[in-house]
Structure 1
Amino acid sequence: MLEVLTGAGLASASGLNAFIPMLSLGLLSRFTDLVNLPAGWEWLENEWVLGIIAVLLVLELVADKIPAIDSINDVVQTVIRPTAGGIVFGAGTAAQTAAIQNPAEWWQSNAWVPVVIGVMTALVVHAGKAGTRAATNTVSVGAVAPVLSVGEDAMSVGLVFAAILIPVLVLVLLLALVLMFWWMWSTFRRMRDRLKARGTKSPDVPAAA
């Protein structure tokens, strides 16, 4: 059960930001004892891979906070985030305690299953993020994009460390994420209805002289 929560937390984090979970797993595996990547996933801790991921992370962090560009970024990330979710779910679901072990025998059969689950999990979260971002950008003219982006990045970081250190906490954070998406959708609908109500009011027509 704990390994599933670990994978779900990492994949969900990828749905918000593709590179935060990948960079976190690679760095923690390379420099700490918290993570020991399973066989076949050690490439995540390679220094060249870490460098490339770090550069891509910076680019996404910047792009996601610029109105209009953030929407383009979300379209591009429709492929990248689910792929990242599959990678981190596959690399992380070996966790049975706070530290991620290396169960070589477990990986010898049905290795594709956790990857597919991770892809689908990240895709669902990404769809929620992209949909709510597009909706809120419509009514706020992109003004709230930087604030939402910072919140999503913080949630991604929180999910990563909860997944690795306290997997049960992933359930709480996922519930908070669902509530956050619901609140943004509700806020968008209220603002949209107000704008429609204003638009349907007939303007005053001055009397002819």
Structure 2
Amino acid sequence: MDLDTTQLIALAAALGWASGLRLYAVVFLTGLAGWLGWVQLPSGLHVLQAPAMLWASGGLLVVEFLADKVPWVDSAWDMVHTVIRIPAGAALAYGVFGGDEATWAAVAALLGGSLAATAHAAKAATRAAVNTVPEPFSNIGLSLLGDAFVPAMLWLSLNQPVLFFAGLALSLVVMVVLIVLLWRFLRGLGQRLRRHWQPA
């Protein structure tokens, strides 16, 4: 499957956005698709289909999958990955055009980093808020939803880019609303906890 310009732009956006949610799944699935010959990956992404990279990203995918199901462990994982997901999203988006189209690659890197940052902030805020609820099922349900949503969006970016862009636009609107509402909730919760524990 050779990619046209629309698919390349969609792939760059998908890699950036999805890296903010499930970085290692993105790296593994993209590399696996290239290694199996399902997609002719751009030259800047060929490193993802190297066997060593597939083993490494596959192992980290399993760790992330498990960590994301455990309340508070998921938030700790998100905190650590604040400094990993955003530059990785920018680098993956850059790789779609890197080496061939310098201007497009730079634009893709900015887009990918911004989308990764938005997705990561929304995910971290949502999971931190859900972790304040004592039952674990909401946490696991949200995690499984992310596990399914990321590969679905990657598939759409390659096969139905117009639908992908519509889904991405809707996702971004929802994410921005979540970021605003949930950070307000978490800030208010933090203020209440500080007042509770302050000595009288």
TM-score calculated relative to the size of structure 2: 0.76
Q: Which amino acid aligns with 1:17?
A: R
Matched, 1:152 2:146: yes
What stretches of structure 2 of length at least 5 have no aligned partner? 193-200
Matched with 1:201 is none
The one of 104, 109, 112 equivalent to 1:118 is 112
Matched, 1:28 2:62: no
1:19 Cα offset (Å): 1.3
| Matched positions, count | 180
1:83 Cα offset (Å): 2.6
Matched with 2:50 is 46
Root-mean-square deviation (Å) = 2.9
SS at match of 1:18: helix
Matched with 1:173 is 167
Matched with 2:81 is 77
Matched, 1:66 2:70: yes
Larger RCO (CA within 8 A; separation ≥ 6): 1
Q: Deviations over 1:31-65 (max 9, x none)?
A: 11423222x43211110011000001110010011
Q: Which amino acid aligns with 1:49?
A: M
What stretches of structure 1 of length at least 5 have no aligned partner? 95-102, 197-209
Q: Tell me: CA distance 1:42–1:183, structure 2 relative to 1, closer, same or farther (3 Å).
A: closer
1:150 Cα offset (Å): 0.6
1:175 Cα offset (Å): 4.2
1:68 Cα offset (Å): 1.1
Q: 1:74 & 1:152 partners in 2: Cα distance? A: 14
Q: Deviations over 1:121-180 (max 9, x none)?
A: 101110011111111221345441111001112111111111122111222322443465
- Percent identical residues: 29
SS at match of 2:130: helix
Q: 2:127 & 2:169 partners in 1: Cα distance? A: 19
TM-score calculated relative to the size of structure 1: 0.73
